[in-house]
Amino acid sequence: MRALQEKQVEAFRDNGAIVAANAVSDDVLRQLREVFSNWVEESRAHDAPYGKICDGRPRFDLDDDHAPDHPSLRRVASPTDVSDVYAAVAFDSPMTDMACDLLGPDVRFHHAKVNSKLPRTKTVVKWHQDFPFDPHSNDDTLTALLFLDDVTEENGPLMIAPGSHRGPLLSHFQNGVFTGAVSDAAAAGFEK
């Protein structure tokens, strides 16, 4: 049985993104929040990125405004390696079924991470395209985002430039340095 309606699949093809409800149950969402909350509490004891994933990079990335009384846990790399509930959502959930509806039955998992914008932290994610971060030999890839909290205008919502998935791919290098963001001129075009 399909998890998405045909009109959602068509909207994804046209816009490059959709919003889909009920990707996980309320109980699973509660568990995901609880695990993340525990990671935030654990981060209070650290003053620099910590923990290691298989390639040696830190698992827990802290922003430079992080402090024990003001946690700023910015990212958790490979949460599926250290949390059963995060693994279950990635590998066997309605969200997984939705990915299959969009790409077909033979999907492969590439990686997972938790990006966080905790209250009163300065975490900023600039305009970018996901593909340049993990280029593939084909373009039938997608990023599935699962929001653990309500997203509002006040708490820094994700913005999407509909149709930008059709190209062109924009440089994420500025003055010869990889910045993870498109140029200010390109960003201004997205904001129109």
Say how many domains are in the chain: 1
| Nearest Cα residue to 172 out of 125, 123, 128 | 128
Output the domain CATH number for residue 176: 2.60.120.620
The pLDDT value recorded for residue 192 is: 66
Residues 6 or more apart in contact with residue 128 via CB below 8 angstroms: 172, 180, 181, 182
117, amino acid identity: K
The pLDDT value recorded for residue 31 is: 98
Residue identified by tokens 């309606």 is 5
Residue-averaged pLDDT of the chain? 91
What confidence tens digit (pLDDT) does each residue in 153-175 have? 877 778 888 988 888 889 999 99
Residue 184 lies in a domain: yes
Residue 12 lies in a domain: yes
Please tell me the pTM assigned to this model.
0.88
CA-to-CA distance for 82 and 125, rounded, in angstroms? 25
Residue 34 lies in a domain: yes
The pLDDT value recorded for residue 102 is: 94
CA-to-CA distance for 17 and 144, rounded, in angstroms? 9
Residue 85 lies in a domain: yes
CA-to-CA distance for 181 and 19, rounded, in angstroms? 23
What confidence tens digit (pLDDT) does each residue in 96-122 have? 999 999 999 888 898 999 999 888 887
> What is the 3-state secondary structure of 110-152?
CCCEEECCCCCCCCCCCCCCCHHHCCCCCCCCCCCCCCCCCCC
Domain range for 147 is: 6-190
Residue 121 lies in a domain: yes
CA distances from 174 to 65, 123, 182 (A): 25, 20, 8
Residue 1 lies in a domain: no
pLDDT band with cut points at 50, 70 and 90 for residue 81? very high
Residue 52 lies in a domain: yes
Model confidence at 56: pLDDT above 90: yes
